[in-house]
Chain A
Amino acid sequence: MSSATSYYASTLLVYLGVDIMACWSLNLQYGVAGIYNFAWVIFQAAGAYTAGVLTLGPASGNGGFQQYILGLRLPYPLPVLAAGVVAGVLALLVGLVTLRRLRTDYQAMVMLVISVIAVLVVENVIRLFNGPAGLSLIPQPLGSLPLTTLGYQWFYVVLTAATCTVIYVFVHRVTSSPLGRALRATRDNEDAAAALGKDVVRLRLFIFVFGGVIAGISGAVLVQFIGAWSPGSWAYVETLVVLTAIIVGGTGNNAGVMFGALLVPVAFNEATRFIPQFGRPGLVDALQWIIIGLLALIFLWFWPQGIIAERRRRFPERPRVVRSGEGT
């Protein structure tokens, strides 16, 4: 493998890891629990910004060419963990407003509004995260290691894979547990789940925060790799890309959405980034978005369950109730 190909492949693998975490996160909320989270990308952004300001160091230290809050230089795993915490707290706040009393169609609309408003706030309050220009020159974690550029690339691939593995353990624990069953029950029939004593709002709030934490971590892993983050990276349509990946891969299925992450964001968005531009500037981007939209429509029409459908869960029938006196 030539070094250029190696560099390209390692970059794509990091993106794949980030997108897989993104798909798991939104799949927990939408696929498993049925929450219409059209604001998903703001939680990834919250994580990315948090990790950014916690690795950049004091804002005055770089000649003041960018301004931001906090400005600490924390050692490696801390910024990523903090990103998860901040995104989780944000999810809790958003969840408390939207998930408690609103009808589901209102939830979808309010989430969309929140997603757009968040971008406007960050763009206009420049001292938060440097406004429309965004953060840049974010140092990579453990950059002092004696590695070549290429070596570091593959080191970061391993780091991303390790993060994915840890996240998967948690995701799997949730989806395969009685908790996951309760979440799926609230998705399939909210009233029945409530009638059986499940606290629907609490369950949804929990998974909303849990998914938010993962979204934040995915943002942290991404920003520490690419070194920059700006409002252009998290327009509300980015949520549609992750959503399309989930629909294509298989809504509600952890393995399915991994496959979706490989097909949609990586194959369509990242890998095609290097095809030569033709036509007027922006034409290729426009065509990419049209294809993403068509992909969502085509799958919703022909394969609404996705490529790897959610496993239908069957449970052994419980033994018949035995009248007292007849059995043990």
Chain B
Amino acid sequence: MTGSVFVQSIGFGLVTASILALASVGFTLQFGVSNILNLAYGDVMTACAFAGYAVNQVGGSIAESLAAGAGFGAVASVLLNRLVYRPFVRHGTKLFGMVVVSLAVGIIIQNIVLAAYGATFFSYSFPPGRQVHILGMIFDTFQLMIIGLAVAAMALVQLLLTRTRLGKAMRATAANPSLARASGVSTERIVDLAWLISGALCGLAGVVLVLNTSAFQSATGSGFLVVIVAAAVLGGVGQPAGAMLASLVLGVITEVAAGFISPSFKEVIAFGVLVVVLLFRPAGLFGQGSTVREVAA
């Protein structure tokens, strides 16, 4: 492999890392605050991508498609929590039951999309972007936009969590819901907000994922879920900063390795990295060793 291919694969890695960061930060933020493992996340991503596609079909711009995806994701996630997950938790379903619930919800969403759109592949039709050369790497304008979007979103999430009262309340709810409640935090609103932010990130990730790949269908999001979960576990579940770092690591490593070996082994390499890290740091890069926590829905 020549040097220029190596540099170019780092460029691809940055794009992959950006998509992964949007998705895994949303996934891990919601899990950290509410402690519900939402395995339907990938399928919500697919639904958001189709929402963006619908806007694209009626002549919407990229910005409008992104907004539609983010808006759809935010609303759908809050509704999912309010109408399905929270009732189940209040009904007394335990942690494992909730995992099965989310898996079942994911299957249902995926197959509703399949029933509605059929088993064919779709792709967005936006006017093609220009090519830009940066430090020997070639990007098209879409990819630069994806990187910019991810950097902006990551900065906003980090600022929200560390610099605002709202962020403090979120971190408090994540660390100890009953104590947060006793200290005057309206945990129910905070949890709703976490689902809202997570859903918006999920929507953005869904639209940029299919923007960057040529074709998508009803199983695209659930296929990507594995990498999201790998990034979240690698970073330490519930740790947005960890997920950001893990996304960068996984994104660059998988793309560089894809250049060396074969693109079809991307996920396998991501998994290899995950297993090696977990063998030495069972709680992930940033994770704490805490064990069982109560569910805050």
Contacts and interface: CB of A to CB of B under 8 A. Distances in A.
A283 B111 CA distance: 9
Nearest to B282: A101
A120 to B, nearest CB: 5
B100 A300 contact: yes
Contacts of A23: none
A276 interface: no
B99 interface: yes
B213 to A, nearest CB: 16
B4 interface: no
A293 B95 contact: no
Of the four ranges (under 10, 10 to 19, 20 to 34, 35 or more), the interface on chain B belongs to 35 or more
Given A293-B104, A304-B97, A106 B119 contact: no
B115 A97 contact: no
A105 B114 contact: no
Given A102-B282, A109-B232, A281-B118, A301 B267 contact: no
Contact of B37 (A108, A243, A280): A108
B124 interface: no
Nearest to A105: B37
Interface in B148-205: none
B88 A301 contact: yes
A103 B238 CA distance: 13
Interface string B267-280: 11001001100110
Interface stretch (A111-119, A165-173, A225-233): A111-119
Given A105-B95, A108-B37, A290-B111, A117 B264 contact: no
A237 B100 contact: no
A220 to B, nearest CB: 26
B232 A296 contact: no
Contacts of B115: 279, 282-283, 286-287, 290
Nearest to B262: A124
Contact of A297 (B104, B232, B274): B104
Given A289-B111, A290-B115, A296-B100, A117 B282 contact: no
Contacts of A240: 100, 103-104, 107
A105 B287 CA distance: 13
Interface string B83-120: 01000100111011101110111011011101100110
B68 interface: no
A121 interface: yes
Interface in A88-111: 97, 101-106, 108-110
B226 A112 contact: yes
Nearest to A103: B291
Nearest to B265: A124
Contact of A113 (B88, B112, B230): B230
A2 to B, nearest CB: 35
Contacts of A304: 92-93, 97
B104 A113 contact: no
Interface string A285-308: 111011011101100110010000
B268 A112 contact: no
Contact of B93 (A101, A120, A237, A300): A300
B107 A292 contact: yes
B283 interface: yes
A210 interface: no
Contact of A300 (B88, B95, B118, B223): B88
A296 B97 CA distance: 10
Contact of A110 (B96, B99, B278, B291): B278
Contacts of A40: none
A280 B119 CA distance: 9
Interface string B26-49: 000000000001010000000000
B229 interface: yes
Contact of A120 (B108, B225, B230, B267): B267
Contacts of A200: none
B237 interface: yes
Contacts of B271: 113-114, 117
B268 A117 contact: yes
B41 to A, nearest CB: 11
Given A116-B226, A290-B108, A282 B278 contact: no
Contact of A286 (B103, B114, B265, B279): B114
B247 to A, nearest CB: 15
Greatest chain A CB density within 10 A among B104, B114, B232 is at B104
A101 B84 CA distance: 31
Contact of B237 (A101, A105, A286): A105
Interface string A235-256: 0010010011001000000000
A34 interface: yes
Contacts of A279: 115
Given A113-B271, A116-B226, A286-B115, A294 B108 contact: yes
Contacts of A36: 96, 99
Given A97-B278, A105-B95, A293-B108, A282 B101 contact: no
Greatest chain A CB density within 10 A among B91, B111, B112, B223 is at B111
A48 B100 CA distance: 26
B233 interface: yes
Contact of A121 (B93, B96, B268): B268
B233 A110 contact: yes
A172 to B, nearest CB: 24
Interface string A32-67: 001010100000000000000000000000000000
Interface string A259-286: 0000000000000000000011111011
A105 B37 CA distance: 8
7 contacts: A102-B282, A104-B292, A105-B99, A286-B114, A289-B110, A296-B100, A300-B93
